[in-house]
Amino acid sequence: MSDGQAALALLARRKIRGFWARQLRKARTPKGALLTVLGVAMFALWILSIVFGASGERLVVQVDQLAVLARLGLLTMTMLTISSAFSLRGLYLPASEIEALFSAPIPRGALVRYRLRSALVRSLFGALFFGWMFARRAPEPWFAFAGIFSALMTLPLFGQALSLVLGDAENRFAARLSGLPWRTMSFVLIAVAVALFVISGEDAGSTTSFGSYEELFSFLSEHPLVRAIGIPFTPWIGAITALDARTFWPWFAACGAIFAGLWWAVPRIPVDYRELSLETSADVARRLARARRGLAANAGAAGANTRSWRTPWLAGRGPFGAAAWRKAVTIVRKSRASFLLGGVIVSLVALFSIAAGEQEPDAALRGALMVAGFGTFYLCIGLRFDFREDLDLIGLLRTWPIAPWKLFLATLIPETMLVSAMIALGVGGLALYHGSTDLRLLLVVGAVPFAVLAWTAIDNATFLFAPVRMGAAHDGALQNAGRAMVLMLVRTLILLLCGALACVPYIVLDSVLELPALVSVGFGCLAGVAILCAEIAVLVVVGGEVLRRFDVPRDQP
Amino acid sequence: MTDRRPGFILPLVDNVPVILSVDAFGRSYESHRAVDGLSFQLRAGEILGLVGPNGAGKTTTLRTIAGVLPVKEGRITVAGHDLARQEESAKRAMRWIPDDPQPFDALTVLEHLEFTAALYGQRDWRSRADELLARFELSEKRDAFGGELSRGMRQKLAFCCAWIARPALVLMDEPLSGLDPRGIRSAKHEIEALARDGAAVILSSHLLVLIEELATRLLILDRGRKVFEGTLDEARARFPEHSRGSLEEIFFAATGDGSKAP
């Protein structure tokens, strides 16, 4: 082993040790330990529930059905690998390593092997997990496990080969390829594939409806296109569906030979991957940084055409107004995709409510409650234009001359207004469709801002209390899962309690004192709003206190 | 004696108002003592050069005065306001320029100034913003988003945001990082002009030549403790073996690494 290869092996070992050391360090405080334990429990329960299922029994399927399942599963994984190869062209190395490793006296082949080893370690869990899943349904579990495991461990090698070859092709033909309408071509290709599937499947049976899973499997197993795309997977399908050792071993040997061949060949692919790798590394680093800040990894920056958009100073030109305005500008300029997604969600729920009970009495009210409920749920979970995208800025926010509770409220108000406006539009659309003038719809719309503000206040206070960064498979993934569990419990309890308390005046006036409906509804609403305001005030004060106690060196490493 | 400026009632030392007063300030991180019993005062018009080796406690001190970190030990008063008890009023009198300013990526350069002016209650912001953008050569970038600026431009924008609200105290950590030679010269003139206008400035940097050039007083920290406070001449008198020496020589003498100085 050369010095360079030995150094790479040492780096890999140190990285794994560092990962576990960081996990232990995070679990050193009582808060970190609690979230880690909850995260591990959640992960373990999820795995156990999937692995053993509700009944704990093995559900064996027929060999031909297993072959179809394996073929489609491997096709899906291959498509994902190809898609990943398009986005990770060249040799992906983290931004913290790439400059040092490219400038070090290490042969390029050794770097590729280092990357392959990392990819195999990452694939190990998935290969074991899916292998186990398939084994439970296979007539010969160990053969199926070995076949799936070997296929999923071969895919990273194939993906790396593809990344290098695609990167090389792009280097050679970049000028010619850049003019091609890739998006249109992708749509056309998908349309052609669907058309081919439908046309070529006409001989295999019905393409519109199937009476049972057996009919569907029968159709797919005889479909010429499914058979054709399964050809490259023949050795693995052979191993997975083998019923005896004499059939299994030749196929499994072929799988092993393909793995060994790729392991030997990929580091020897004669391409200079350095320039594309640097681009890929920078691109991934940028996306990870965005994900760490709580934004979706692919969320866009402020659009250049939004430069001239003016956002009104709705809360005045003092410190409070300035803090709310900054957040509002960010939402307006960066959340076009979120607007669209929110609009789609609200519209779908409204359409679903219409389809579900158009003829029923109170259809408009039922629809409005559905839109308000589902809209609040999905939009509050999906939109994160609050402290969750400002984690790296908390040090700066702390220097502003504004009380923490005011800053907390000012930061949450724009998102609350956005979600409330979307839901109000949905409810308004429903009222127009039903021709309803039911005043109770106004009550629903009026309650939404309280619910949204309470929801985001709880989420943000919890986030600031335990500011674990977002990002699956990152250092804080376990604590993140644990916090999600705590958050779900806290949020549900507090929202139910707040809602119940706000309803108390109406219940007392209507059921205990038995006052006329107009009086009980009127005074019940007024008292309910007063209680909701008081509850929100308490949540905001608590959130402000958590923000005040935010320890920048500890919580924002 | 006190100085009654608008909004402030300040104590006077030698007839000059005291803008910042740090008394017995300390801070620990777990078992590590980052700053221990630090006391000093800063008067209007002074530029205090804060120097010390890595881990001396400079950034902890600056970040605590700026309000990023809470005051856990001692007392800090900014423009007559106790930072722990009158946090908002104290913060309104000062601005903090970190070593790597991060502007908001969805706000334009001009909107940063509009936002900062509103945050610090500056009403007539527009004409001052135009003037500052011109002085810091950012006029052409007024409509660029914060996320589109280079390192040096981010630094210049941080200066503009600090200057716009006419602060009584400005805290700067390595303020010249990323600036080109023209930007460095311009920034040095602006810092001196700011002090001439009556603001107090704390300048933390490892560039001892810069400190020697700009600072009217020095504060040298080592391992969390104050090892020297005074003017450069006073430092030379304190370390007579460097009576004609540069700040670099005095720094090594004060921090106990004189033997290692090249």
- Is residue B171 helix, strand or coil? strand
What angle (nearest 5°) sits at the alpha carbon of residue A419, between those of residues A316 and A503?
100
Assess B40–A contact: CB distance below 8 Å, yes or no. Answer: no
Across the interface, whether the CB atoms of A401 and B120 are under 8 A apart is answered: yes
Q: What per-residue confidence (pLDDT) applies to A520?
A: 81
Q: What per-residue confidence (pLDDT) applies to A476?
A: 65
- Is residue A102 helix, strand or coil? helix
Neighbours of B140 (CB within 10 A): 9
Interface of B with A in 106-125 (CB under 8 A): 106-108, 111, 115, 118-121
Residues facing residue A524 across a β-bridge: none
Alpha-carbon distance of A452 to A373, in angstroms, equals: 10
Q: What per-residue confidence (pLDDT) applies to A414?
A: 92
Which residue of chain B has the CA closest to A334?
A: B106
Which of A176-185, A251-260, A327-336 shows the lowest mean pLDDT across its residues? A176-185
Query: Across residues A166-189, what is the average pLDDT?
Result: 70
A518 vs B122 pLDDT, higher one:
B122
Q: What per-residue confidence (pLDDT) applies to B262?
A: 38
- Is residue A550 helix, strand or coil? coil
Alpha-carbon distance of B229 to B218, in angstroms, equals: 6
Predicted-assembly ipTM surpassing the 0.85 threshold:
no
Q: What per-residue confidence (pLDDT) applies to B11?
A: 67
B105 token code pair: 């990526």
User: Does the pLDDT at position A330 exceed 60?
Assistant: yes
B84 within 8 A of B75, measured Cβ to Cβ:
yes
Alpha-carbon distance of B70 to B85, in angstroms, equals: 11
The length of chain B in residues reads 262
Alpha-carbon distance of A1 to A199, in angstroms, equals: 56
The DSSP result for A177-233, as a single string, is HHTS-HHHHHHHHHHHHHHHHHHHTGGGS-SS--SSHHHHHHHHHH-HHHHHHHGGG
Alpha-carbon distance of A254 to A238, in angstroms, equals: 10
The conformational region for residue B4 under phi > 0 = left, psi -120 to 50 = alpha, else beta, is beta
Nearest residue, CB atoms, A302 vs list B89, B92, B105: B105
Chain A residues touching residue B115 (CB < 8 angstroms):
322, 325-326
Task: Tell me the pLDDT band of A511, cut-offs 50, 70 and 90.
Answer: confident
Q: What per-residue confidence (pLDDT) applies to A555?
A: 65
Interface test with B, best of A393, A396, A407, A554 (most B CBs within 10 A): A396
Contacts of B155 (CB under 8 A, 6+ apart): B97, B101, B175, B176, B177, B178, B179, B183, B187
A416 within 8 A of A390, measured Cβ to Cβ:
no
- At position A494, the amino acid (one-letter code) is I
Alpha-carbon distance of B129 to A520, in angstroms, equals: 56
- At position B102, the amino acid (one-letter code) is Q
A462 within 8 A of A487, measured Cβ to Cβ:
yes
Domain boundaries, chain A: 60-169+203-290, 318-555
Q: What per-residue confidence (pLDDT) applies to A132?
A: 85
Mean pLDDT of chain A, nearest integer: 82
b/e per residue, A41-58, with b = 16+ CB within 10 A? eeeeeeeeeeeeeeeeee
B157 within 8 A of B149, measured Cβ to Cβ:
yes
The DSSP result for A401-442, as a single string, is SS-HHHHHHHHHHHHHHHHHHHHHHHHHHHHHHHT---THHH
Interface test with A, best of B27, B68, B172 (most A CBs within 10 A): B68
User: Does the pLDDT at position A221 exceed 80?
Assistant: no
State the smallest CA–CA distance between residue A277 and chain B in angstroms.
23
Chain A residues touching residue B67 (CB < 8 angstroms):
398-399
Alpha-carbon distance of A42 to A23, in angstroms, equals: 16
B98 vs A211 pLDDT, higher one:
B98
Q: What per-residue confidence (pLDDT) applies to A549?
A: 86
Which residue of chain A has the CA closest to B116?
A: A322
Chain B residues touching residue A403 (CB < 8 angstroms):
87-88
Which of A89-103, A108-122, A126-140, A175-189 shows the lowest mean pLDDT across its residues? A175-189
What angle (nearest 5°) sits at the alpha carbon of residue A106, between those of residues A105 and A111?
150
Across the interface, whether the CB atoms of A552 and B68 are under 8 A apart is answered: yes
A289 vs A293 pLDDT, higher one:
A289
Nearest residue, CB atoms, B96 vs list A399, A402, A552: A399
**Model's pTM, two decimal places?**
0.73
Task: Tell me the pLDDT band of A122, cut-offs 50, 70 and 90.
Answer: confident
* Distance in angstroms between the alpha carbons of the first and the last residue of chain A: 37
Report the Cα A36 to chain-centroid distance in Å.
20
Contacts of B21 (CB under 8 A, 6+ apart): B11, B41, B42, B75, B76, B77
Q: What per-residue confidence (pLDDT) applies to B118?
A: 92
Give residue-wise pLDDT tens across range A398-445: 899 999 999 999 999 999 998 999 999 999 988 888 888 888 888 889
Domain boundaries, chain B: 2-93+167-260, 101-166
Instruction: Note down pLDDT in tens along chain B; length 262 residues.
Output: 455 444 555 666 666 789 999 999 999 887 789 999 999 999 999 999 999 999 899 999 999 999 888 898 999 999 999 999 998 999 999 999 988 888 888 889 999 999 999 999 888 899 999 999 999 999 999 999 888 899 999 999 999 999 998 899 999 999 998 899 999 999 999 999 999 999 999 999 999 999 999 999 999 999 999 999 999 888 888 887 777 778 888 888 888 754 444 3
Residue with tokens 């659009």: A303
Give residue-wise pLDDT tens across range A456-509: 999 899 888 877 665 544 566 667 777 777 888 888 888 888 888 888 888 888
B182 by Cβ neighbours in 10 Å (0-12 / 13-18 / 19+) ranks as exposed
Alpha-carbon distance of B218 to A448, in angstroms, equals: 57
Alpha-carbon distance of B99 to B205, in angstroms, equals: 9
Architecture of domain B2-93+167-260: 3-Layer(aba) Sandwich (3.40)
B72 token code pair: 């856990």
Q: What per-residue confidence (pLDDT) applies to A56?
A: 52
- At position A476, the amino acid (one-letter code) is G
User: Does the pLDDT at position A104 exceed 70?
Assistant: yes
